[in-house]
Every structure is written in structure tokens, then in C-alpha cells.
Amino acid sequence: MNRTAVSSSNLASVGYDPGQRILEVAFHSGAVYQYYNVPPNVHAGLMAASSHGSYLDTFVKKMGYRYRQIR
């Protein structure tokens, strides 16, 4: 999946597959996670957020989307 670099102290890049509704997040640590069944508006909000890390925590992690670490 292609990811877009983001300006964040924690996140390195973000990708999204709208067909499968998979959000993919790469962290500066090198870890990469995929979050499943994420709606397009959540991805759009993440990309537009002034703090990508805070948005990810509030609207993705704490919302309980199923996820898997892929790297």
C-alpha cells in the first residue's frame, strides 16, 4: 500500500485502501499497523488533523478498530 509522509513526532506515514477500508500507519519506530473497517471520513480526518498522533489515538485506537501489526 502506498503511504503519504506526515509531519508528526510519532507517525511517519499513513496509507488508506478505500476498497478494503484499511488504514495503514507507519511509526518512526519502524512499526507498521493496519486498522480494519475504517471509514473514509476517519482517514480524511487523520490526514487533515493538526496533530496526527492525537487524532489516531482518539478516533482510531480508542474507537476499537480491529488491527494487526504487520512490521
Q: What is the pLDDT of residues 15-66, one digit of tens each?
A: 999 999 999 999 999 999 999 999 999 999 999 999 999 999 999 999 999 9
DSSP 50: S
pTM listed for this prediction: 0.96
CA 32 to chain centroid: 9
Q: Which domain holds residue 21?
A: 3-69
Residue 1 has pLDDT above 90, yes or no: no
The pLDDT of residue 4 is: 97
The pLDDT of residue 50 is: 96
As a whole number of angstroms, the distance between CA 69 and CA 62 comes to: 16
The pLDDT of residue 28 is: 97
The pLDDT of residue 18 is: 97
Q: Tell me how many domains the chain contains.
A: 1
